[in-house]
């Protein structure tokens, strides 16, 4: 682990090494870089190929937005450079949405104009000339991206209310007012977009209800209510590739959820533990298949979660936090979710992380970084192709900020299914008892091979093309045998196996 000095912006890259299949890992630092000025409000994005960009405010230069690009071929970060409008200062609250390689948007706020501005990365490089002027105070803006060049962005103006636009590649839609009566700029708009370009925005209405709008066919729909019960707080939203939406929010000390499925809104339901109060707003992420995960901070200083498998919610605890912990949640398109949170208690200052896969459960909590100074404001991004995650956060005292970056390797997902049966071939003098084990292909794009074990013994490693069946002859009918199939990625990282027992 590394200790960060005051008044430095540091970038630190880690990778995870796995000693055994499953979700056990340890962080190992591999690289540092520093910038002499302070940095604040970091965010990070990554495309499906593992190309990451970190953005932050350089407060030492009066508030300009800078970026650093990560090179997955060399595992190095480039020197930070300015991406906001040249010769202008006073920028803050950058947020990045990143799609395929060389396509990203960084949205930022300028309260001095006031305006919401975009810095665009395309094949020709960076363009910082996109701006939307306003006459009111502005909230922090939000942006979401898919891996297919689709983006959605939204913010709140104290004069014009909730505003949003969608982006297809380098083409920006017209800016549209979604709710002119919602003008509280201390609230945020939650946005999500799927691979087909359907987007959703959710926000807190002026009367305390949760409202939303869908973008499809080039326009945003009229605002509708998710629930009539109130008052509510902190809406968060996700959308799958079929256009189904999951909403989560906080009402009093309970986390609630609802689903928009095939255009129909369901009844709201409680998804937090009824006996343990929620103290923070929830975060929500939805996989392309409709799997959803929500996390929040509870009164016992735990990072609590609820997982939606497409039919029902189940809740639990992901890790230990403290009362001032700030949470972050992101996902890839392969059913992996990455959570991180700050932990500052006494002399302990850490960024902690864990990731979740429905078939594997939660990993153990890892300490991504530690410092003698407070660590705050974590943000993360997860790449589905290379199974790499990046984390950024602030490091410093009460007035000084710094940042760090982390890289981890996520184990690949197991095959979707394993099957087994017992066959008896009878001969005049004996019977051959055969265990026949077969498995289906994994849908994980990072997997390069299968590993098959009989108990703890490695039978062999097999290519993705198969075979998908193994026969074991002369089995003892009195002895139960456990067979396991796992996947391994190009880094040599092995995921947790699926198992079957035959006698």
Q: Can you give the CATH number for the domain in which 483 is found? A: 2.60.40.10
Per-residue pLDDT at 6 exceeds 70? no
Establish if 333 belongs to a structural domain. yes
Same-domain status, 463 and 365: no
Q: How many domains does the chain have?
A: 2
What is the structure's pLDDT at 407? 53
pLDDT on residue 443: 83
Comparing 422 with 228, the larger pLDDT belongs to 422
DSSP label at residue 399: S
Residue 402 lies in a domain: yes
Contacts of 318 (CB under 8 A, 6+ apart): 295, 302, 303, 304, 305, 339, 354, 356, 362, 365
Give me the pLDDT at residue 11, please: 36
Q: What is the reported pLDDT for 376?
A: 87
Confidence of residue 73 (pLDDT cuts 50, 70, 90): confident
Domain end position, chosen among 409, 435, 456: 409
Of residues 28 and 190, more confidently modeled: 190
Residue 130 placed within a domain: yes
Q: Has residue 386 been placed in a domain?
A: yes
Range 157-166 average pLDDT: 98
Query: 258 lies in a domain?
Result: yes
Question: What pLDDT score was predicted for residue 398?
Answer: 41
Instruction: Give the mean pLDDT of 430-448.
Output: 91
225-229, 356-360, 493-497 — which is least confidently predicted? 356-360
**DSSP summary character for residue 467:** -
Phi-psi region of 217 (alpha: psi -120 to 50; beta: other; left: phi over 0): left
Indicate whether 278 and 246 sit together in one domain.
Answer: yes
DSSP class of residue 136 equals S
The pLDDT of residue 219 is above 90 = yes
Q: Which helix (H) or strand (E) holds 91?
A: strand 91-98
Q: How many whole angstroms separate alpha carbon 3 and alpha carbon 50?
A: 26
* pLDDT surpasses 60 at 459: yes
Torsion angle of C-alpha atoms 102, 104, 109, 113, degrees rounded to 10: 60
90 pLDDT higher than 70: yes
And the tokens for 383?
Answer: 């790449």
Please tell me whether residue 59 adopts helix, strand or coil conformation.
Answer: helix
Assign residue 120 the CATH number of its domain: 2.130.10.120
Same domain, 495 and 371: no
pLDDT of residue 322: 96
Say yes or no: 289 and 426 in one domain: no
- Examine the fold and report which residue of 409, 440, 457 is the final residue of a domain before the chain moves on: 409
β-sheet bridge partners, residue 57? 40, 65
Residues 307 and 446 in one domain: no
In a domain, 2, yes or no: no
Q: Which two tokens stand for residue 220?
A: 């945003």
Final residue of a structural domain among 409, 429, 464: 409
Q: Are 137 and 117 in contact (CB under 8 A)?
A: no
pTM, rounded to two decimals = 0.83
Average pLDDT over residues 241-258: 97
Q: Do residue 487 and residue 394 come from a single domain? A: no
Decide if pLDDT at 65 tops 80: yes
Give the mean pLDDT of 87-109.
93
Asked if residue 4 has pLDDT above 80, the reply is no
Using CA atoms, how far apart are residues 207 and 210, in angstroms rounded to an integer? 9
Shared-domain flag, residues 207 and 329: yes
Within this chain, do residues 376 and 497 fall inside the same structural domain, yes or no?
no
Instruction: Give the per-residue pLDDT at 333.
Output: 79
Domain residue limits at 427: 418-502
Buried/exposed code over 43-73 (b: 16+ C-beta within 10 A; e: otherwise): bbbbbbebbbbbbbbbbbeebbbbbbbbebe
User: How far apart are alpha carbons 13 and 32 in whole angstroms?
Assistant: 7
Write the CB contacts of 171 (distance below 8 Å, at least 6 apart in sequence): none
On whether both 80 and 98 belong to a single domain, the answer is yes
Do 16 and 25 contact (CB within 8 A), yes or no?
Answer: yes
pLDDT of residue 309: 94
Q: Percentage of the chain with pLDDT > 90? A: 66
- Residue 25's pLDDT is what? 43
Q: Are residues 340 and 481 in the same domain?
A: no
Q: What share of the chain is helix, strand, coil (3-state, %, to 5)?
A: 0, 55, 40
Residue 134 in this model has a pLDDT that exceeds 80: yes
| Within a domain: 4 | no
| Residue-level pLDDT at 385 | 65
Are 425 and 393 found together in one domain? no
Q: Tell me: the pLDDT tens digits for 21-52?
A: 344 444 544 333 334 457 789 899 988 777 88
The pLDDT score that the predictor gives to residue 375 is: 86
**Each residue of 261-294: pLDDT tens digit?**
999 999 999 999 989 999 999 999 999 999 999 9
pLDDT at 129 over 60: yes
Same domain, 464 and 319: no
Structure confidence by residue, pLDDT tens digits, 370-426: 888 888 899 998 886 666 778 888 877 544 444 455 555 667 888 989 999 999 998
> What is the gyration radius of the CA atoms in the chain, in angstroms?
24
Q: Report the pLDDT averaged over residues 223-232.
A: 93
- Averaged confidence pLDDT in the chain: 87
Q: Lowest mean pLDDT: which of 34-48, 159-173, 338-352, 446-460?
A: 34-48
Residue 3 in domain:
no
């Amino acid at each position: 682990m590394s200790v960060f000095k005051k008044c430095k912006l540091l970038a630190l890259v880690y990778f995870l090494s796995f000693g055994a299949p499953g979700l056990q890992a340890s962080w190992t630092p591999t690289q540092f870089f520093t910038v002499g000025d302070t940095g604040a409000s970091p965010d990070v994005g990554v495309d499906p190929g593992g190309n990451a960009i970190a953005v932050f405010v350089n407060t030492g230069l009066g508030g300009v937005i800078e970026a650093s690009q990560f090179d997955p071929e060399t595992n190095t970060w480039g020197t930070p450079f300015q991406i906001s409008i040249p010769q202008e200062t006073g920028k803050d609250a950058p947020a990045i949405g990143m799609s395929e390689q060389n396509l990203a948007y960084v949205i930022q706020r300028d309260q001095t104009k006031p305006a919401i501005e975009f810095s665009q990365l395309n094949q020709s490089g960076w363009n910082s000339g996109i701006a939307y002027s306003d006459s009111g105070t502005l909230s922090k803006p939000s942006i979401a991206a898919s891996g297919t060049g689709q983006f959605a962005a939204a913010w709140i103006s104290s004069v014009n209310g909730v505003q949003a636009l969608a982006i297809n590649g380098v083409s920006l839609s017209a800016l549209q007012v979604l709710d002119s009566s919602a003008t509280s700029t201390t609230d945020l708009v939650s946005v999500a977009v799927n691979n087909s370009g359907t987007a959703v925005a959710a926000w807190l209405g002026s009367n305390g209800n949760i409202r939303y709008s869908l973008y499809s066919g080039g326009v945003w729909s009229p605002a509708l209510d998710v629930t009539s019960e109130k008052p509510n707080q902190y809406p968060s939203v996700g959308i799958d590739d079929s256009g189904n939406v999951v909403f989560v929010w906080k009402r009093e000390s309970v986390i609630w959820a609802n689903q928009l499925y095939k255009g129909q809104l369901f009844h709201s339901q409680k998804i937090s533990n009824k006996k343990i109060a929620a103290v923070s707003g929830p975060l929500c992420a939805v996989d392309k298949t409709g799997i959803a995960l929500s996390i929040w901070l509870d009164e016992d200083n735990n990072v609590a979660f609820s997982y939606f498998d497409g039919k029902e919610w189940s809740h639990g605890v992901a890790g230990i936090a403290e009362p001032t912990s700030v949470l972050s949640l992101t996902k890839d398109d392969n059913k992996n979710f990455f959570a991180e949170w700050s932990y500052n208690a006494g002399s302990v200052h850490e960024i902690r992380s864990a990731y979740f896969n429905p078939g594997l459960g939660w990993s153990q909590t890892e300490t991504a970084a530690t410092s003698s100074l407070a660590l705050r404001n974590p943000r993360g991004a997860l790449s589905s192709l290379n199974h790499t995650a990046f984390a950024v956060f602030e490091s410093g005292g009460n007035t000084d900020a710094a940042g760090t970056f982390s890289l981890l390797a996520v184990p690949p997902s197991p095959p979707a299914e394993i099957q087994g049966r017992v066959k008896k071939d009878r001969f005049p003098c004996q019977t051959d008892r055969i265990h026949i084990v077969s498995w289906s292909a994994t849908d994980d794009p990072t997997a390069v091979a299968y590993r098959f074990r009989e108990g703890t013994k490695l039978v062999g490693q097999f290519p993705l093309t198969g075979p998908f069946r193994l026969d074991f002859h002369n089995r003892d009918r009195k002895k139960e045998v456990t067979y396991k199939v796992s996947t391994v990625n190009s880094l040599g990282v092995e995921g947790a196996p699926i198992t079957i027992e035959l006698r």
